[in-house]
Amino acid sequence: MAVEPTFKSAFNAAPAAHSFTPGRVNLIGEHTDYNGGHVLPAALHIGIHAAMTPRADNKVRVTSDMFTGLSERDLSDSAANHWSDYALGAVIFANKAGYLSGGADIAMTGNLPTGAGLSSSSALTVGLLKLAAELSGKQIDNTDVSKLARRIENEFIGMPCGIMDQMAVAVARPGQALSLDTKHLTYDLVDLPADYHFAVLHSGQYRRNADGHYKIRKQECDAVKAALGHDDPCLMSDAELAGLSHLDDKLIRRARHCMTEHRRTLRAAQALKNGDITMLGRLMNESHVSMRDDFEMSLPPIDALVADAVKLGAAGARLTGGGFGGCIVACVKKTDLDDWTKALLALHPDAFAVC
C-alpha cells in the first residue's frame, strides 16, 4: 500500500512529501452537520496514502493504484466527473491558500473502498492540503484544513456537504471517535472501547445517484430552515417542531430527524465516554429507524442487513454516511466478531466486510 513506489514508477523520482490520512465511519449523527448539530465519527485503520511534488508550471498529474492511467489536468480545469477531480481541487485550493504556486505531481494509494461513504475523498483532499502546507513551511491547523477541504467539495466538485468528514479525518486517529459540535467546531476525542469493534460492512448496494439524493435532502432542510427562521433545525425545541405543522408531512419528518438525531448523538457521545455500550447500541438502532422512516435515506436491503446484524447479537447497528446505499456500522463484542460476521454474510451474500 506504500505510495512512494507508485509515485516513483509514474514520475521517475521520489516524492517531496507523503502521508497517510485515515478514512472515517460515522457512529451516529447523520445529516446533522449542515443543520447545526452534533456528529460522532470514528477514524478507521484504513485510509489513503498520498504523495506530492510541487511543479513550477500549471500541470497537475495524478496517478493512483485504485484507477488506471496517468491523469493530466491543468490548474484552469473545472471538475469533470473524473477520479482525479479531488486531487486537482486540492491543488487549486492549496494555491488559493498560498501553499502552492503552480501545479503538482501526485500519487495516491489506499485500501479504502471509494464511493462507499467512508470519506476517501476527504482523506485525499485533507492529506494533500496538509502536504502542500508542510512543503511551503506554513502552519495549518486541523479546523482550517477541514474548512478548506470542505470548500473543494462545495465550490469545486459541487457537492453541498457539511464538515463532518473533513474534521473526522483531519483530527481523529484510528481508535478514536470525534465528538464534534458542527456549529461551533468544538470537539472532544473519545477512545473507542477496548472490548467492542465497530464493524463496517458494505451493503452491496451501490450509491446510485447518491449525490443527487443528498442535494434533495439538503434542499428539504433549507425549506425547514426558512420556515423556522434560523439555520439550526437540529437545535430546535419541541415547541418549534410543533409549530411546523403547516408544512408538508415530508418536511416535518426531515425536521424531526434533524432534531432527534442531534439529541441521540449527544447522548451517544456521553454513553461512549461512560462505557455504556447498551445505551450506545440502543441509540444506534433508533438512529437507523429515524433515517429509514423520517429522513428516508435507507434502502430495504440495508434495513434487512441492519435488522439481522442486531438479531445476531450486535449491541446496535445502523446505516452510516450520506445514505442511499453504502455501508452499515455495527457495534459487536470482539470475542463474537468472527462468528457474527460469518453468520451475517451467510444471510446477505451481496454484503462484505470492509473493516
- Give the residue numbers annotated as catalytic, written as ranges: 165
Query: Shortest distance, CB of residue 43 to ligand GLA, whole angstroms?
Result: 14
C-alpha cell recorded at residue 97: 491558500
**Sign (positive or negative) of CA dihedral 214, 218, 221, 227:** negative
Question: Residue 90 is which amino acid?
Answer: A
User: 27 or 50: whose CB is closer to ligand GLA?
Assistant: 27
Query: Shortest distance, CB of residue 312 to ligand GLA, whole angstroms?
Result: 26
Mark residue 175 as left, alpha or beta (left: phi above 0; alpha: psi -120 to 50; beta: remaining). left
Query: Shortest distance, CB of residue 33 to ligand GLA, whole angstroms?
Result: 5
Alpha-carbon distance of 272 to 280, in angstroms, equals 7
Write out the residues near ligand GLA by the rule CB under 6 A: 26, 30-31, 33-34, 161-162, 164-165, 321-322
Q: Is 352 exposed, middle or buried (0-12, 13-18, 19+ CB in 10 A)?
A: middle
Query: Shortest distance, CB of residue 161 to ligand GLA, whole angstroms?
Result: 3
User: 4 or 296: whose CB is closer to ligand GLA?
Assistant: 296
**Sign (positive or negative) of CA dihedral 151, 170, 117, 87:** positive
User: 321 or 325: whose CB is closer to ligand GLA?
Assistant: 321
> Are 159 and 16 in contact, with CB atoms under 8 Å apart?
no
User: How many residues in total does the chain contain?
Assistant: 355
> Are 202 and 116 in contact, with CB atoms under 8 Å apart?
yes
Query: Shortest distance, CB of residue 322 to ligand GLA, whole angstroms?
Result: 3
User: 10 or 152: whose CB is closer to ligand GLA?
Assistant: 152
In 55-152, the DSSP E strands lie at 59-64, 71-74, 104-110
User: 33 or 308: whose CB is closer to ligand GLA?
Assistant: 33
